[in-house]
Amino acid sequence: MGFDSEQEMREVAIDSINQDFAQDESILLEEFTYGNGRADIVLANPSTAYLDHRINELKISSALDSKSQLQVFLQLHSRGPITRDYFYTVGAMGKRKKQNALEELLKKGFVEELDNGKIQTAHDLRRHVTTSYSIELKLSKWKKALEQAVRGKSFSEYQYVALDGDNVLRAMDNLELFEEYGVGLMEISEEGDICVYKEPSRQKPYSPMNKWRLNERTILEQTPQSIYSD
């Protein structure tokens, strides 16, 4: 007998992944939304040094909690000091929306205004999430899970498909596809045992937006707010 539902499987998987995969500092996230997809489970491993620097030195304990704030932050983060007037001409976002987002970033400390009137992102602010694992859960639809896992390459270094123990054999017959895409394969039993049949290859996440979404979601887990509200 396998799991009766994906929800039942999820509850067992969360406990097992916390015990078998998580490190002491790991942050486990459920239902992480990242633009063009949603990961069932994500394990984010933070650098405590980077996180302490953000909170204790830079005094930034709130999160980038809207899409427009993330967009404006990333447009600034890749540049040196810039005048506001010139910055308002960068990108496709409307000036009013960009002004509102910039003001919020200044209030929260993500952006600072220099003595010469130019703006830049906070000095030495970087992502504190250094490594992440995305895990897609399915009772039996391994092809769908593999497709979803591949999308996770936009924000995570490692991707897994996790299947019910009664249904994992069909995926094992197609391990060459998992090898081709660099995705790992694991089985989760009703008792919570995890068996890994294929380890994933390390990837370099390709979306700065989604990498920062994950980074900020870990802050939101500590201080709940509305997530990416616009």
Task: Flag whether pLDDT at 9 surpasses 60.
Answer: yes
Task: Flag whether pLDDT at 225 surpasses 80.
Answer: no
- Please tell me the predicted confidence (pLDDT) of residue 90: 87
User: What are the phi and psi torsion angles at 40 (to 5°)?
Assistant: -65, -50
Interval 159-205: pLDDT, tens: 999 999 888 999 999 999 999 999 999 999 999 999 999 999 999 99
Interval 114-155: pLDDT, tens: 999 999 999 899 999 999 999 999 998 999 999 999 999 999
**Is the model more confident about 222 or about 150?**
150
Residue ranges of alpha helices (H) inside the chain are: 6-20, 48-52, 67-77, 84-87, 95-108, 142-151, 168-172, 175-181, 208-222
Q: How far apart are CA 25 and CA 50, in angstroms?
A: 13
The answer to whether the predicted template modeling score (pTM) of the entire model surpasses 0.75 is yes
Interval 37-66: pLDDT, tens: 999 999 999 999 999 999 999 999 999 989
What structural domains and CATH numbers belong to the chain?
6-47+130-198 (3.40.1350.60), 51-127+207-222 (1.10.10.10)
Where on the phi/psi map is residue 166: left (φ > 0), alpha (ψ -120 to 50), or beta?
alpha
Of the pLDDT bands very low, low, confident and very high (cuts 50, 70, 90), residue 36 is confident
Of the pLDDT bands very low, low, confident and very high (cuts 50, 70, 90), residue 82 is very high
Task: Flag whether pLDDT at 227 surpasses 50.
Answer: no
- Please tell me the predicted confidence (pLDDT) of residue 220: 87
